[in-house]
Amino acid sequence: MSGIRRLNHAVLFVSDLGPALAFYIEVLGFRLVSREDRMNAAFLRAADSVNHHDLGLFGLGPGTPGPSRGHAGLYHLAWQVDTIDQLAAVRGSLIEAGAITGESSHGATLSVYGADPDRNQFEVQWMLPRRSWGEYETKAVVEPLDLPSQLAKWSGVGTADELGIVAATPDRP
């Protein structure tokens, strides 16, 4: 028995730390926790996270080739938002930044996909209330996402509390 409960953080190699930092801060709303210039690294926290850091970035130097599809290695990271309204906002930010790569429904989750300046791919997803998973409790599907109709149905419904995800508050940064 391992005792593993969740992914605590991810660390990515990036070619140029500056543009990567700008992307994660300006497009996805992460906050800089620490910058370690001796290692050309930065550690970031998601805006509503109480974790020490959710993402580490280590710069390798401009011109370093990024990941390419079809090779062994990490495919993408996935972050969860509390409401579908937040998912729609992230989608808008990704479109504005020219960084959106797709969107889909997985039955129990609704997702948008993007890529950072080094082509590291990620997913931002909203999980339906568990009581609504139905047949998707044990299925993994990829279907088209109709975000307007899903927004009409689920706007304002938060689901992070169902999973025990604690949001940052003024007394818990």
Give the CATH number, domain containing residue 135.
3.10.180.10
For 29-108, where are the E strands, in sequence order? 31-36, 41-45, 55-59, 76-81, 100-105
The phi, psi pair for 158, rounded to 5°, reads -95, 140
Task: Kindly state the helix (H) or strand (E) to which residue 46 belongs, with its residue range.
Answer: none
Query: Is 127 buried (19+), middle (13-18) or exposed (0-12) by CB count in 10 A?
Result: buried
Within a domain: residue 172? no
pLDDT the model gives residue 168: 56
Tens of pLDDT along the chain (173 residues) come to 576 777 889 999 999 999 999 999 999 999 999 999 999 999 999 999 989 999 999 999 888 887 777 777 788 999 999 999 999 999 999 999 999 999 999 999 999 999 999 999 999 999 999 999 999 999 989 999 999 999 999 999 999 887 665 555 555 55
Within a domain: residue 87? yes
The total of structural domains in the chain comes to 1
Within a domain: residue 2? no
pTM: 0.87
Within a domain: residue 124? yes
Which structural domain, as residue segments, surrounds residue 38? 10-61+76-163
